[in-house]
C-alpha cells in the first residue's frame, strides 16, 4: 500500500507540474499577446504618420515620389525613436516599403502621376516571455497604411484655414465653381477709387475672420487664421481698403517682411517665389488684367502660373529651400477663400451668404501705391484644406484633405 501511495504521489506531482506549465503558458500567452497588441498599435500609428507625410509631400510636389519616399522614412524614423523597442527593431530587421499609385482602389503601384502613398512595415519580431516554455520564442506583427487626397470638402460643412478675402459667385450657376473656371485670372482684392465692385461701396473683397481691424487683417493675410467658416452660413465683410496691412501680411508668402511685426519664423516664405514678368496690372475703368500690352484672362497667357510653379517644386528649383536646408514651405502661395452670393445691396459692412469655397494661386506680391492695392490669383482645381469631405466621389475640386484610407489590399491596415 505504501508503494502504491508513493507512486500516486509521484503521478500527482507530474500532473501538478504539467498543469503549472499549462497555466504559465496561458498566462504567458495572454501577456505576450498584450505585448504584441501594444506594439502593433505603436507600429500602426507610426506607419499612419509616415503615409500621411508621404501623401502630403506628393501633393506639395505634384507627385515627386523621391521627395515623398524621403518624407515617409524620415517621419517613420522620428516616431519610431519615441518607442525604444520599435526603434531597436527598426535598426535590426524591420522592413519598410513605400509605394505610390495614381488610384486608390485598386492601388496600382508605380502608376503616375502619384496621388496615393502606401507604407508597409513587416518583420517586426518581438521576444516572448512564458510562452517560450512551449516553444514560442518570438512573435511577429506588421502594419500598413494608405493615404491621399479626399473628395472635395463638403460645401455645407465647416472649412478651415481661410484667407480673409471673398470672391462673388453666381448663385444661379452650378456648384461647386459658381461661374468660375479653372485657369482663369481674377482680382481678389479691389483698390480704392474703383468703380463699385460686386459687393458695393466701402467693400474691397475683404472679410472679417476672428476680429476687426488692420492688425487682424495683416495676421490673417499672413496665414494666422486657423478657425473655420460654416459653408451653410455667411461671412462678414471688412470695410475699408487697409492697403498697408494687406500688403505686409500677404507678401510674407513671397519672403517679404516689410513691417507690422510679421516674421519668417511664424510665416515662412513659399519655396518658389517667382512672379510673372512683366508684372500684371489692372485697369479699374475697364476691369481688365494685362501683362505688358497684352490683355490676359487665362493663366496659359502669362509666363509664370500655377503649372510652372508645380514644375519648379517638383524639380526642386527652390528660391527658398525647405527644412532642413532652409525655411521655405510649399503651397504658401495657395489660398482658400469663400465664394459668396454678393447680389443685392451690400453697402458698408455686410453679411454675405456662402455658396462654396475656392482655391487660388497667388501670382505676384501685392504692391501698395497710394490707395491702389490689387491681389491677383489664378483659380485652380484643388488645394489642401481642413474640414469634412463630401460623400460624393469626385475629383478634388476645391479644398480637400489629405487623409488615411483602409488598405483594402492588406489585412494589416
- Report CA torsion sign: 96, 102, 107, 108: negative
Q: How far is CA 356 from CA 57, 382, 387, in A?
A: 26, 13, 13
35-56 mean pLDDT: 89
CB 186 within 8 A of CB 177: no
151-170 mean pLDDT: 84
pLDDT of residue 157: 72
Say if residue 199 is preceded by a cis peptide, omega within 30 of 0.
Answer: no
pLDDT of residue 377: 96
374-385 mean pLDDT: 91
User: What is d(CA 396, CA 369) in angstroms, rounded to the nearest whole number?
Assistant: 37
Quickly tell me which residue has 511664424 as its cell. Answer: 266
pLDDT of residue 271: 96
Q: Facing residues of 139 across strands?
A: 126
**Per-residue model confidence as pLDDT tens digits over 108-118:** 999 999 999 99
Query: pTM of the predicted model, to two decimals?
Result: 0.81
Q: How far is CA 400 from CA 49, 60, 326, 384, 394, in A?
A: 18, 13, 27, 5, 11
Q: How far is CA 124 from CA 42, 45, 83, 92, 306, in A?
A: 11, 14, 13, 9, 43
- Phi/psi for 302 (5° steps) reads -115, 160
Is it the case that residue 137 has pLDDT exceeding 70?
no
**Per-residue model confidence as pLDDT tens digits over 226-235:** 888 888 889 9
Q: Which of 164, 70, 204, 156 is nearest to 353 (CA)?
A: 156
pLDDT > 90 fraction of the chain, expressed in percent and rounded: 50
CB 124 within 8 A of CB 141: yes
Sorted by where each begins, the domain ranges of the chain are: 10-151, 158-388
DSSP assignment of 382-410 equals EEE-EEPBPSS-----EEEEEEEE--TT-
Q: Which of 154, 175, 345 is nearest to 232 (CA)?
A: 154
Is it the case that residue 346 has pLDDT exceeding 60?
yes
User: What is d(CA 233, CA 116) in angstroms, rounded to the nearest whole number?
Assistant: 33
39-67 mean pLDDT: 92
Q: Identify the band that residue 373 occupies on the pLDDT scale cut at 50, 70 and 90.
A: confident
Is it the case that residue 284 has pLDDT exceeding 70?
yes
Is it the case that residue 1 has pLDDT exceeding 60?
no
User: What is d(CA 400, CA 189) in angstroms, rounded to the nearest whole number?
Assistant: 24
Name the least confident of 119-128, 255-264, 330-339: 119-128
pLDDT of residue 343: 85
CA angle 364-192-241, nearest 5°? 75
User: What is d(CA 108, CA 125) in angstroms, rounded to the nearest whole number?
Assistant: 29
Amino acid at each position: 500500500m505504501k508503494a502504491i501511495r508513493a507512486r500516486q504521489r509521484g503521478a500527482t506531482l507530474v500532473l501538478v507540474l504539467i498543469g503549472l506549465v499549462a497555466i504559465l503558458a496561458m498566462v504567458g500567452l495572454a501577456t505576450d499577446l498584450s505585448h504584441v497588441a501594444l506594439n502593433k498599435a505603436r507600429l500602426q500609428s507610426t506607419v499612419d504618420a509616415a503615409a500621411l507625410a508621404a501623401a502630403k509631400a506628393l501633393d506639395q510636389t505634384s507627385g515627386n515620389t523621391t521627395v515623398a519616399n524621403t518624407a515617409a522614412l524620415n517621419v517613420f524614423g522620428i516616431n519610431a525613436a519615441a518607442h525604444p523597442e520599435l526603434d531597436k527593431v527598426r535598426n535590426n530587421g524591420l522592413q519598410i516599403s513605400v509605394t505610390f499609385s495614381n488610384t486608390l482602389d485598386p492601388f496600382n503601384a508605380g502608376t503616375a502621376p502619384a496621388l496615393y502613398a502606401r507604407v508597409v512595415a513587416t518583420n517586426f519580431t518581438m521576444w516572448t516571455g512564458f510562452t517560450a516554455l512551449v516553444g514560442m520564442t518570438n512573435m511577429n506583427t506588421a502594419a500598413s497604411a494608405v493615404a491621399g487626397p479626399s473628395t472635395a470638402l463638403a460645401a455645407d460643412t465647416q472649412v478651415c484655414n481661410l484667407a480673409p478675402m471673398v470672391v462673388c459667385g453666381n448663385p444661379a450657376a452650378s456648384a461647386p465653381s459658381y461661374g468660375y473656371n479653372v485657369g482663369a485670372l481674377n482680382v481678389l482684392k479691389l483698390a480704392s477709387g474703383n468703380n463699385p465692385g460686386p459687393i458695393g461701396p466701402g467693400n474691397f473683397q475683404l472679410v472679417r475672420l476672428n476680429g476687426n481691424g488692420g492688425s487682424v487683417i495683416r495676421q490673417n493675410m499672413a496665414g494666422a487664421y486657423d478657425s473655420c467658416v460654416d459653408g451653410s452660413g455667411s461671412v462678414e465683410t471688412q470695410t475699408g481698403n487697409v492697403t498697408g496691412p494687406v500688403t505686409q501680411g500677404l507678401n510674407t508668402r513671397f519672403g517679404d517682411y516689410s513691417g507690422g511685426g510679421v516674421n519668417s519664423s511664424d510665416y515662412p516664405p513659399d519655396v518658389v517665389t517667382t512672379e510673372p514678368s512683366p508684372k500684371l496690372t489692372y485697369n479699374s475703368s475697364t476691369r481688365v488684367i494685362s501683362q505688358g500690352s497684352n490683355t490676359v484672362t487665362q493663366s496659359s497667357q502669362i509666363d509664370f502660373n500655377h503649372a510652372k510653379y508645380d514644375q519648379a517644386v517638383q524639380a526642386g528649383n527652390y528660391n527658398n529651400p525647405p527644412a532642413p536646408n532652409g525655411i521655405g514651405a510649399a503651397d504658401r502661395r495657395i489660398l482658400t477663400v469663400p465664394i459668396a452670393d454678393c447680389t443685392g445691396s451690400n453697402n458698408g459692412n455686410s453679411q454675405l451668404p456662402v455658396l462654396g469655397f475656392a482655391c487660388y494661386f497667388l501670382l505676384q506680391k501685392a504692391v501698395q501705391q497710394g490707395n491702389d492695392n490689387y491681389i491677383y490669383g489664378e483659380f485652380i482645381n484643388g488645394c489642401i484644406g481642413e474640414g469634412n469631405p463630401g460623400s460624393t466621389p469626385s475629383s478634388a475640386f476645391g479644398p480637400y484633405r489629405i487623409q488615411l484610407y483602409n488598405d483594402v489590399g492588406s489585412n494589416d491596415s
